[in-house]
Amino acid sequence: MKRIQLPRGVGMWLLAGVALCAGLDAAPVSYHREVVPLLQRHCYGCHHPGKRKGDADLTALAAMREGGKHGPSIVPGEPGRSVLITEVSGADPAMPKDGERLTSAQVGLLERWIREGAVDDSPPAPPPRTVPPDYRAPPVITALDFSADGRWLAVGGYHEVLVFDAASLRRVGRWVGAPARVETLKFSPDSQRLAVVGGEPGVTGEFQIWDVASGTALVRVAPGTDSFFGADWSPDGARVAMGGADRSVRVLGTADGRELLRAMVHSDWVLGVVFVGNGNQLVSGSRDRSLRLLDASTGRMLDVLNRETEPVVRLARFPKEDQVAFAGADSRVRLYKATAKAANTDPGQDPNLVREYESFGRGTTAVAFNLDGTLVAMAGLPAGEVRVHEVGTGRRLATLGGHRGAVFGIAFAPDGKRVITAGMEGELRMFSLPEGRPVTNACPVEVSSR
């Protein structure tokens, strides 16, 4: 091949042109896609509305501009005057105090975002939907709950909550304006309110409180950039705890949705959070395979409760005492004591394990207790089977069949005589207990043929 010799100086001009074009083509740093995940991982655990170390909150741009006792966390256009940058820079950075240091590339990303004006490119929250959706197919049902007074069954739909008379399964309400994907429904202890958590995956996480009597939203906030899961009420009804795809454990006030606590103690999605210890502690379960015991006031991690065997996909609080059951992604449901282990516990042991239930082979998808804590139901893969066991002995009492596809929602009626299941097929199935006889099944919505 003949080698082409460029005239003197032309090669340098070409290289300079390539570099100039590369600079022109470099997109601005995205706050939503690049900065927020970085801050979530390294900063949110100590600097959020419920725990403002140094009086600094890094979870919102307005709070970052306001700053804390050391000055503004960000000064748009001036990274050198931004405490966020000065605290994470240098040979011995002050922050993160106990966590992994930011790399030079990560610090450079933050500097460039601030130099470019610290622009917020987060997508706007969608306006609340007011028109009921028109279903062309039965919706995948991921959330169910009976009210403790036995009057109502709530079912998650698309941008709505469907409310049924618990005795007859007659639909009595459509509460439009719920998240696009409802991940968890939970009635308050007094049955007067309903917590709704979910979101639009990768876009927003939503938390809502609905008044049961009027079917109106009392609280509606969207404090996250990804979905929330696994809500639970405190015994006094003043707080709701939930997990997030952003690895967070959050506690929000039920009067106004104000964030009271955010703990970043997991390394993967948190898919379940429950109150224990009379509301003074939390147990969180994550895809990182751990059950973690936290102080409900400070978010401080008190212990890892389990030997980390498989990812946690669902979590249920045992109603009789401080125990929790989790559905494992690989094989089975396990029941654990929700109390800190002895300090000298062998890491290879699993002393908090109360019971393992029989394996589903390819993982479990749902778990729920009845109201008096005598029965536990679980669903798993291969898809389509729900099993009901005695909690104390582990003995299987009934197998609930007929489902087409995976089951994601299980709810025991408060009278203990019925259980409702739902999932991928989009139908509600009712079974009588203890024999597990099918009673009825129905689609919770009208499906349009258009």
Structural domains in the chain (count)? 2
Whether 139 is in a domain gets the answer: no
**Is the CB of residue 365 less than 8 Å from the CB of residue 314?**
yes
pLDDT, position 113:
93
pLDDT at 230: 96
Q: Identify the pLDDT of residue 450.
A: 60
Q: How far is CA 46 from CA 247, 298, 447, in A?
A: 14, 10, 47
Query: What was the pLDDT predicted at 24?
Result: 46
Q: Are 211 and 109 in the same domain?
A: no
Instruction: Check residue 20 and give its pLDDT.
Output: 41
Q: Is the pTM of this model over 0.85?
A: no
pLDDT score for 17: 45
Buried b (16+ CB within 10 A) or exposed e, 58-82: bbebebbeebbeeebbbbbeebeeb
CATH of the domain at 318: 2.130.10.10
What pLDDT, on a 0 to 100 scale, did the predictor assign at position 5?
52
pLDDT lower than 50: segments of the chain = 1-4, 6-24
Q: Return the structure tokens found at 303.
A: 């212990």
- On whether residue 122 sits in a domain, the answer given is no
For residue range 124-166, list pLDDT tens digits in order. Answer: 666 778 899 999 999 999 999 999 999 999 999 999 999 999 9
For residue 71, CA distances in Å to 38, 47, 128, 290 come to 21, 14, 37, 37
Query: Pairing mode, if any, of strands 418-423 and 407-412?
Result: antiparallel
pLDDT value at position 23? Answer: 45
44-50, long-range: CB < 8 A, 24+ apart: 44/248, 44/262, 44/264, 45/99, 45/262, 45/263, 45/264, 45/265, 45/299, 46/96, 46/97, 48/259, 48/262, 49/258, 49/259, 49/260, 49/262, 50/251, 50/259, 50/260, 50/261, 50/262, 50/299
User: Domain span at residue 297?
Assistant: 144-442
**How many CB atoms neighbour CB 309 within 10 A?**
16
Dihedral sign computed on CA atoms, order 443, 399, 182, 185 = positive
pLDDT at position 148:
95
Examine residue 260 and state whether it is found in any structural domain, yes or no: yes
Question: Which residue, of 69, 97, 115, is where some domain finishes?
Answer: 115
